[in-house]
Structure 1
Amino acid sequence: MAGTPARSIGKSRLFPQSPKALRPMDENAARETTRELAAVAKERKLLRLASLLTHRGAEAEFLAAVFDLSTFMRDCARRRPEIIEQLFDTGIDARLTDIANQIHALPYAEAINEKSLMTELRRLKLEAHFLIALDDLAGIAGPELSVRRLSVLADACVNAAIDFLLRDAHASGKLRLPDTDRPGEGSGWVVLAMGKHGACELNFSSDIDLVVFFDPEAPAVLHPYDAADLFSRLTKRLVRILQDRTEAGYVFRTDLRLRPDPGSTPLAIPVEAALIYYEARGQNWERAAMIKARPIAGDIAAGGAFLKELRPYVWRKYMDFAAIADVHSIKRQIHAHKGHGEIAVRGHNVKLGRGGIREIEFFVQTQQLIAGGRFPELRGRETVPMLAELAGHRWITAEACEALTRQYWFLRRVEHAIQMIADEQSHTLPEDDEGIERIARLLGFHSAEEFSKSFSAALQEVEKHYAALFETAPDLSAGIGNLVFTGDVDDPDTLKTLESLGFQRPSDICRVIRAWHFGRYRATRSAEARERLTELTPALLQTFGETRRADEALLRFDAFLAGLPAGIQLFSLLQSNPALLQLLANILSAAPALAAIITRRPHVFDGLLDPALLAELPNRQYLSDRLATFLQGMGDYEEVLDRLRIFAAEQKFLIGVRLLAGAIDATRAGKAFSDLADLTIGAALEAVIEEFAVHHGKISGSRVAILGMGKLGSRELTAGSDVDLILLYDHEPDAEFSDGAKPLAPAHYFTRLTQRLIAAVSAQTGEGVLYDLDLRLRPSGNKGPVATHIEAFRKYQRTDAWTWEHMALARARPVAGDAALCSEVDAEVAAILALPREPGKVYKEAVEMRGLIEEEKPPRDIWDLKLIPGGLIDLEFIVQCAVITGQIVAGDRRATGTAEILSRLSPGFADEQTKQELCEAIGLFMSLTQMIRLCLTGPLDRQDIPPGLVDLLLQATDLPDIGVLEAHVTETLQRVRSHFERLLGAG
């Protein structure tokens, strides 16, 4: 009983066996948390739990460590310690079964309504979530059991919501159910779980993918012509029940984007229309998605019948060459990096990154598509059993099966640990030492180093087998065919081969390759170089052919070749390192902007030869060390500036390559581009100050600071961003002139100094431009002086600045200059932002300003993510208004990044659901913006987007198709605009 005092708390009291020993991050904090929880337990008469925590056995030590390592687990235990108390009487497995039964019973409870259903679902789901994590962290439940438990929980919750909605529709006369005790039967409402949910492989903080169909001729349907509207409205309510955030939290984030043509179809689609769509227009990624489809709620029999009808579409007995080529194009959406460099641990995406979970899942699905039509045993939904079946049919080796199975479950454990910390849908390891240490301890490792070593080994093993699987998969084509480039007449069979490889102008390609053999370029003048290039040519053609812009890619390679000083080393390297060749092909086909850099400056390619390139995060320290080395021994002013331009160009390129290769995500890229700007502009400022002093001397007490604004201030620069900044200065009050041969008064001195800095940074030279500068955000804008005294800045901001100028300061941060003045400026900015303001007035002015921007700069299309309603400007305005009206939860430091500020919006300003949706929106928009700005020199033209770039955008967003991505963008824009209007009163 709950009130019975504990006698002796044995090891079997909470768990059937001793839990895994975990070490907290902070022993003292863990003990304090345990004491607090013991006091709460005692107060609530949970005496066995209080005794357990007070007497400190192995289980108490385990709980203390869990609560120190996971804020989610700690907060749950504090709010509902009775969840743990129950475990003295009921094991976790039995309790989870009981919870599932309670969830299933909810729609049939007396006086149940939508609100109470939502509350109860959230309460029971939270308890189950906590127990699943506890058993997992204790080492009693392996990841195989945890993913199944999470999937069973999701099934129960969806079922309860569906049954409630069907019974409610019946009660209101909208449906006539054959049996209200089994509402799904004959209802015609088909709900399929997709992805990890369909495969019973959900991760700890996973969303669930559902596809919803309906049969208008089902027995329950009263009016077939009204069925589309009815089931779409029911589906909308289903999503609200499951994912809306209330004071009790949420159940599951729900995604409906895997339905046919999501940009133009309703939430629920007639079964017949869906079958016609899949048969006539269905794509291979949709066939792959249907492998995991599973009826989980509503009319299960109708769902099974639908999948049976769809079976010939998914499982083709015979596949023509075009279908196989399309499947291989699906494979290329995740690249097989065949050992190119080490893999970073910090910041690595366990799901989508190199050597990650998706590589295992992706290969299994593509092989199922190719072979499943002939071998029914290969049609299963779950990844690991299908690995075994593939091995049994000799599509993969037993060694690969064993290794990938072992690493799959290890990586799933890592993924769960990441998500169990704060119940966040993240797949990315922390970038800081403390974060990695926390993950290591949650997983039971003795040290971060031991975890990092195991994690790297796992990724490398997956990557090795993943690449090998593609190479050793059964050869379904007849081979590459003729490739003859001798003489001056095109070989007919070679033209056919080139066409089959994907080249649209085979005759032109033949001419280009023949030119290589004539030795017209410096890189091909030696016989040995031409020989190596000849050996490399088949691999080049195959790799470029897979890009779907084969002709463009090869012509860009030709331009690259023309600028190379020598070729032997590169050709040998590309021949022995297929990953490097693949990376080069990706750049040349998907990223015209990066390709142009390689073509103009072939030496930047040297950076790709560094085997550690993809393993090293380009953080501030890394870039600072590289810059110091690069500038070492440079004394001449112009030489320093040229070296800075070269360094910035190369590092921008290498940061971009890391983003392209998936080694870093958009957020990390934004920080890296911004750190690079901080460092190079700071170095340019130092050089300018030193050079200026040669002629004009110095002002007594002179100090200069650069205040980064806009995307530089928020650390969200892209590859093509210009830089917004304000130059602030200070000096001794009584200083009248500088002390040089050509003395200047202070105001004149700092104005000239700033003009010199502008020229140094933005002037076009033989080595290009360091950055395009924009100083329009300084006090008084273009009419004001280019340099501003700190006191003038302070006075202007407090007395004369417009609301929009204070909004702009929300993203401001000192980026370079005198350290003491930078601190002073930062404090002053914080003080200005904290000034009391009337929120209603601020919001009104912001809305008016947004309307003016829309009027003067209308967006081109939905890909104009900055200007379009619901896009980046709306998000930035929400953030800036929240900052200057005090609607931000205080943190350890002042935040300037859009995503971070959105996550810290105060509850009184934005509820949890709103925060979640805004954070997801900025993540999506930044991922797309970073990749587009990296790859293209101008705006994205939907009619002429490189297919390789499409693949990159899909990888970055983890979506299967450009149509689905556009639908997701449109939906997100609408959601953001709705929040913008509500939060700022613009509706």
Structure 2
Amino acid sequence: MKIEAAKKTAIEWRLEPVSIVAPLDPARAQGELAEFAGTAKEEGLDRLATFLKAKGPAQSFLAAVFDLSEFMRDSARRQPEMLDRLFDQTIEQRLSDIGTAIAAIPFEDGIAENALMMRLRRLKGEAHFLIALADLSGEASAADSVRRLSDLADLCTGAAVNFLLRDAHGQGKLKLPDPENPTVGSGWILLGMGKLGAHELNFSSDIDLVVFFDPEAPAIADPYEATELFARLTRRLVRILQDRTEHGYVFRTDLRLRPDPGSTPLAIPVLAALHYYESRGQNWERAAMIKARPVAGDIAAGEAFLKELQPYVWRKYMDYAAIADVHSIKRQIHAHKGHGEVAVKGHNVKLGRGGIREIEFFVQTQQLIAGGRFPELRGKATVPMLTQLALRGWITPEARDALERQYWFLRSVEHAIQMVADEQTHMLPEDDEGLQRIAHMLGFADADAFSKAFRASLQEVERHYAALFEAAPELSSGVGNLVFTGDVDDPDTLHTLRQLGFQRPSDICRVIRSWHFGRYRATQSAEARERLTELTPALLEAFGKTRRADEALMRFDEFLAGLPAGIQLFSLLQSNPALLKLLATIMGAAPRLAGIITRRPHVFDGLLDPALLSELPDRAYLAARLAAFLESTRLYEEVLDRLRIFAAEQKFLIGVRLLAGAIDSARAGKAFSDLADLTVGAALEAVEAEFARRHGKVSGGRVAILGMGKLGSRELTAGSDVDLILLYDHSETAEESDGDKPMAPSHYFSRMTQRLIAAVSAPTAEGVLYELDLRLRPSGNKGPVATHIDSFRKYQRGEAWTWEHMALTRARPIAGDASLCTEVEAEVAAIIALPRDAAKVTTEAREMREMIEAEKPPHDLWDIKLVPGGLIDLEFIAQVAVLTGRIEGQGHATGTAETLHRLAPGFADAQVRQDLIDAYGLYQAITQMTRLCLTGAFERNDVPPGLSDLLLAATDLPDFSVLEAHLKETSQKVRGHFDLLLRAKGK
């Protein structure tokens, strides 16, 4: 009868183990189970005690668990009722009840903080035990476990926050709109980061929180005291959650992911946080924010904050600087941990080679690249994002399946390691028994079987991770035989060069031998030649990867020929593989930039600045650099030469930032435009001063330069001409200038403008500053080169064609007399705001587009400016919208991108507007990169492979054929919108 009763009781127990878990020592395991049965009996849990004395799979499972995990054994002894409840409920049902109980604690009348802490610890402890039990038994998968752990952390954090908010309300520190729903309107934002934010918490994980508050929230009585109040509440929250008491702890809590944790309070006002992220935020913080999730407090305020932060996290264009940054962290981890050959014992399952972090980085870097354009890639959880990446073609289904499988396997290993003693560790044991313990917890027969599976998992992860992140080039001759001594080509060397990608290996040998003869200044010293010899294998490998290896090396040879010295450069390249790769990219993919550094090797000096890629080349930065460069320069010709040198160097460095992904195409356009503003403005000042030396000044004379076209819209490229209109004004009584050779005002300003044209665009030994185009002035080439402001005003208001007003929508003063610039700006705005017949403007714009299409048909799909649905269509849509008053917001926007963002809903609905914005971003990215790299037209069938890679990087697309298809689809979509928006009224 006893046996039958035991069987009946066993059937009633609501956990049926699926996994076979074997103890390390069967005798010891049975002893542990018997001892626990005695504890249950002492506690009056008779049915549990009877059940434990019986024989069966459940009892064998519990005996093994108690033998393998001291945490599970000790937890069960402290609260044996946890197992007894499983006669009445499943684990899932009990976890649900625990969650309900946790959420109710803060609303118990008169509950004190100590009582709250005790209740939270006991309930969390039971949940923690049950989650581990379900995991080890096979009732729950690793995915179920991480979700349950994350939900538990949310509940505990939420309960503590609700208690603290109600307590602050009771003390009069806050005025909660609804004390029964304390978080609503409280303004207290708690973001879960990392694994908590992603619902991927591990068994013994800390929880990462970042805490903000909204000083304008309804609950906050005094915004000036809010920082101190919420910092104090946050400090109490941490104590409630992580202080260890006789009842244990709830969750260790980490607040170090907040902005500048060394100098900021524990809770930060939202505006200060937004300012930090937008102005000083690091790439790792962007990556961290991918997983950010409001977990407690004012959820609505948290969601609003993350929405505000979206442009910072989800940038529009592929950000290889971010990838390099994340990858450098990975390399630092390797270096710090000293990983060599993968060993199982002592391996770090999280940070080690082939570990969990590599899979997470694999996903996160793809998200950083593409999440700006594809919202479906903005998910927080790792595995669902692997699926999305596969759906979009960023990874293969095979990679997705392999990484998903290994991710959950490795998470199971991590859980087993932590379930032994509830320790925050990711290291496999270094002793045989410890490894055997983990193997048994995971259902393996022994340590050898586990080790074999574990190694295979690491290798599979590492293989896919390596495919994503190419290792930095090794500075070694491991590439093959490379001998350049003597005067006869070494056959093995020729073979190696062919293997590296060189088409003319004999010519390459000849060039490299010439370096060793010291014929260039850079290679005259023995030390320089020695350094170059050491560097040569890495150089050849880097040039080979450009897939235009011969051209790249020949351009490098030209560069070398012009260098005044070489030791510093060669040493720098030896110690900086990223710079070597960048140099190879320039030589192989960017003939324009290569030409600049070949003609002017000194511009390469700018790359020696360690802050180059971290400093944005904005107007203030460029202005400061220009002022320093021109300091103490007095002679007119010297000023002009130095302007040419400065502009060439800064164009190169802006281009390098674009190549390296440190800035995107929009920022590059602004930087190129700011550079033109400053250098043309400095040239104007020099010309005015020089002209006045001979011809004096005109009474009341003022000059302003109106930037037009891409300069006006701040969208210049590396190869753009500069469109200008020079306007002037003077006293009505002025008849001639007051110099030794006086001139009538109109003649004076025309001659001065011609001098400016020569100063800017005439070629000298230092090249050309800019090619100028003044055809947009009133009457075009037929009119005078300088225009009086009154003539300009009269012409624009009475004689200008629609296309001239369209051009004027992009006009902005860039240099000259400040007061006249202000007047010109106001006049341009007034002209643009004049009432117009919208149908007439639209019809004339459409007719003009048809005429351009007939007279200048596009070369091919890649003729982005002229192709139907290309840049001109977008510019015309924006310009017509401005002229016909169908723009939202205040002020006059000259940039096409900004104008498209402000299209009124009555003119273009939200989807059309987004399509146009996306198209402009795509075109701008392609145009900036091709104009940066190429000196001539883009030839589809002769694209340097390195350039195609850069275009893919700039457009967030995985393959050149995908880019081409996307370009075609985009142009067709834009042309459809163009036809819709610019159709004549009534059609």
Please classify the TM superposition score into its range, dividing by the shorter chain length.
0.5 to 0.7
Q: 2-side partners of 1:804 and 1:386: how far apart?
A: 67
Q: Unmatched 5+ residue regions in structure 2?
A: 1-106, 117-154, 166-173, 191-210, 219-288, 311-358, 419-423, 429-464
Q: 2-side partners of 1:599 and 1:687: how far apart?
A: 29
Q: 2-side partners of 1:704 and 1:534: how far apart?
A: 57
Amino acid of the structure 2 residue aligned with 1:967: A
Aligned partner of 2:709 in structure 1 is: 710
Aligned partner of 2:386 in structure 1 is: 292
Amino acid of the structure 2 residue aligned with 1:930: Q
1:940 to 938, 941, 956: 938
Q: How many residues align?
A: 641
- Determine helix, strand or coil for the equivalent of 1:544: helix
Deviation readout 1:477-518 (Å, 9 max, x if unpaired): 994221111112111111111122222221221111111112
Give the direction of change, closer, same or farther, for the CA distance of 1:401–1:735 in structure 2 (3 Å limit). farther
Contact 1:729 1:788 in 2 (8 A): yes
Amino acid of the structure 2 residue aligned with 1:979: H
Q: 2-side partners of 1:605 and 1:879: how far apart?
A: 39
How far did 1:519 drift? 1.7
2:974 aligned with 1:976, yes or no?
Answer: yes
- Determine helix, strand or coil for the equivalent of 1:788: strand
Aligned partner of 2:777 in structure 1 is: 778
1:909 to 903, 907, 910: 907
Amino acid of the structure 1 residue aligned with 2:575: S
Q: 1-side partners of 2:657 and 2:623: how far apart?
A: 18
Aligned partner of 1:275 in structure 2 is: none
Amino acid of the structure 2 residue aligned with 1:804: W
Give the direction of change, closer, same or farther, for the CA distance of 1:883–1:294 in structure 2 (3 Å limit). closer
Deviation readout 1:833-854 (Å, 9 max, x if unpaired): 0000011110000000000000
How far did 1:570 drift? 1.5
- Determine helix, strand or coil for the equivalent of 1:708: strand
Deviation readout 1:183-230 (Å, 9 max, x if unpaired): xxxxxxxxxxxx9999799979987999xxxxxxxxxxxxxxxxxxxx
Aligned partner of 2:169 in structure 1 is: none
Amino acid of the structure 1 residue aligned with 2:924: M
Contact 1:871 1:973 in 2 (8 A): yes
- Determine helix, strand or coil for the equivalent of 1:727: strand
How far did 1:20 drift? 13
2:614 aligned with 1:615, yes or no?
Answer: yes
Q: 2-side partners of 1:757 and 1:829: how far apart?
A: 23
Counterparts of 1:258-269 in structure 2, within 5 Å, are none
Counterparts of 1:349-498 in structure 2, within 5 Å, are 380=406, 471=471, 479-498=478-497
Contact 2:477 2:537 in 1 (8 A): no
How far did 1:135 drift? 3.5
Q: 1-side partners of 2:829 and 2:898: how far apart?
A: 16
Give the direction of change, closer, same or farther, for the CA distance of 1:559–1:877 in structure 2 (3 Å limit). same
Q: TM-score, normalised by structure 1?
A: 0.58
Give the direction of change, closer, same or farther, for the CA distance of 1:65–1:866 in structure 2 (3 Å limit). farther
Deviation readout 1:274-320 (Å, 9 max, x if unpaired): xxxxxxxxxxxxxxx999347999xxxxx9xxx9xx99x965xxxxx
Q: 1-side partners of 2:163 and 2:665: how far apart?
A: 36
Deviation readout 1:74-116 (Å, 9 max, x if unpaired): xxxxxxxxxxxxxxxxxxxxxxxxxxxxxxxxxxxxxxxxxxx
2:18 aligned with 1:18, yes or no?
Answer: no
Q: 2-side partners of 1:900 and 1:50: how far apart?
A: 42
Give the direction of change, closer, same or farther, for the CA distance of 1:479–1:139 in structure 2 (3 Å limit). farther
- Determine helix, strand or coil for the equivalent of 1:797: helix
Give the direction of change, closer, same or farther, for the CA distance of 1:522–1:468 in structure 2 (3 Å limit). farther
Q: 2-side partners of 1:20 and 1:738: how far apart?
A: 81
Aligned partner of 1:629 in structure 2 is: 628
Give the direction of change, closer, same or farther, for the CA distance of 1:381–1:709 in structure 2 (3 Å limit). farther
Amino acid of the structure 2 residue aligned with 1:556: R
Contact 2:370 2:377 in 1 (8 A): no
Give the direction of change, closer, same or farther, for the CA distance of 1:599–1:206 in structure 2 (3 Å limit). closer
Contact 2:761 2:772 in 1 (8 A): yes
Question: Identical aligned pairs, as a percentage?
Answer: 63
Deviation readout 1:741-782 (Å, 9 max, x if unpaired): 111111111111111111111101111111000000001111
Counterparts of 1:870-881 in structure 2, within 5 Å, are 870-881=869-880
Aligned partner of 2:824 in structure 1 is: 825
Contact 1:20 1:137 in 2 (8 A): no
Counterparts of 1:193-342 in structure 2, within 5 Å, are 292-293=386-387
Q: 2-side partners of 1:862 and 1:876: how far apart?
A: 18
Aligned partner of 1:135 in structure 2 is: 295
Give the direction of change, closer, same or farther, for the CA distance of 1:520–1:699 in structure 2 (3 Å limit). same
- Determine helix, strand or coil for the equivalent of 1:673: helix
Aligned partner of 2:645 in structure 1 is: 646
Q: 2-side partners of 1:556 and 1:928: how far apart?
A: 24
Give the direction of change, closer, same or farther, for the CA distance of 1:200–1:493 in structure 2 (3 Å limit). closer
2:927 to 921, 929, 937: 929
Amino acid of the structure 1 residue aligned with 2:295: D
Aligned partner of 1:839 in structure 2 is: 838
Q: 2-side partners of 1:975 and 1:907: how far apart?
A: 18
Amino acid of the structure 2 residue aligned with 1:729: Y
Contact 2:901 2:917 in 1 (8 A): yes
Aligned partner of 1:724 in structure 2 is: 723
Contact 2:712 2:811 in 1 (8 A): yes
Q: 2-side partners of 1:938 and 1:66: how far apart?
A: 56
Amino acid of the structure 2 residue aligned with 1:135: V
- Determine helix, strand or coil for the equivalent of 1:913: helix
Deviation readout 1:650-685 (Å, 9 max, x if unpaired): 110110011011110001000000000000000000
Contact 1:620 1:672 in 2 (8 A): yes
Aligned partner of 1:163 in structure 2 is: none
Give the direction of change, closer, same or farther, for the CA distance of 1:948–1:19 in structure 2 (3 Å limit). farther
Give the direction of change, closer, same or farther, for the CA distance of 1:48–1:779 in structure 2 (3 Å limit). farther
Give the direction of change, closer, same or farther, for the CA distance of 1:20–1:662 in structure 2 (3 Å limit). farther
Counterparts of 1:492-511 in structure 2, within 5 Å, are 492-511=491-510
Contact 1:200 1:382 in 2 (8 A): no
Deviation readout 1:103-130 (Å, 9 max, x if unpaired): xxxxxxxxxxxxxxxxxxxxxxxxxx9x
- Determine helix, strand or coil for the equivalent of 2:535: helix
Q: Unmatched 5+ residue regions in structure 1?
A: 1-5, 23-33, 39-46, 69-128, 151-194, 211-251, 256-288, 298-302, 316-364, 393-397, 403-464
Q: 1-side partners of 2:412 and 2:701: how far apart?
A: 70
Amino acid of the structure 1 residue aligned with 2:854: E
Q: 1-side partners of 2:833 and 2:827: how far apart?
A: 10
Contact 1:903 1:919 in 2 (8 A): yes
Q: 1-side partners of 2:376 and 2:189: how far apart?
A: 36
Give the direction of change, closer, same or farther, for the CA distance of 1:470–1:848 in structure 2 (3 Å limit). closer
Q: 1-side partners of 2:807 and 2:110: how far apart?
A: 59
Aligned partner of 1:671 in structure 2 is: 670
Amino acid of the structure 2 residue aligned with 1:878: I
- Determine helix, strand or coil for the equivalent of 1:814: strand
Contact 1:737 1:744 in 2 (8 A): yes
Amino acid of the structure 2 residue aligned with 1:490: D
Larger radius of gyration: 2
Counterparts of 1:128-207 in structure 2, within 5 Å, are 134-135=294-295
Give the direction of change, closer, same or farther, for the CA distance of 1:934–1:735 in structure 2 (3 Å limit). same
Q: 2-side partners of 1:787 and 1:597: how far apart?
A: 33
Give the direction of change, closer, same or farther, for the CA distance of 1:401–1:675 in structure 2 (3 Å limit). farther
Q: 2-side partners of 1:583 and 1:387: how far apart?
A: 40
- Determine helix, strand or coil for the equivalent of 1:611: coil
Contact 1:634 1:640 in 2 (8 A): yes
Aligned partner of 1:864 in structure 2 is: 863
Q: TM-score, normalised by structure 2?
A: 0.58
Give the direction of change, closer, same or farther, for the CA distance of 1:634–1:202 in structure 2 (3 Å limit). closer
Aligned partner of 1:531 in structure 2 is: 530
Q: 1-side partners of 2:651 and 2:751: how far apart?
A: 29
Q: 1-side partners of 2:893 and 2:700: how far apart?
A: 30
Q: 1-side partners of 2:517 and 2:709: how far apart?
A: 51
Q: 1-side partners of 2:481 and 2:634: how far apart?
A: 57
Aligned partner of 2:592 in structure 1 is: 593
How far did 1:545 drift? 1.4
Aligned partner of 2:948 in structure 1 is: 950
Aligned partner of 2:340 in structure 1 is: none
Contact 1:882 1:888 in 2 (8 A): yes
Give the direction of change, closer, same or farther, for the CA distance of 1:980–1:140 in structure 2 (3 Å limit). closer
1:965 to 960, 963, 966: 963
Moved more, 564-573 or 949-958: 564-573
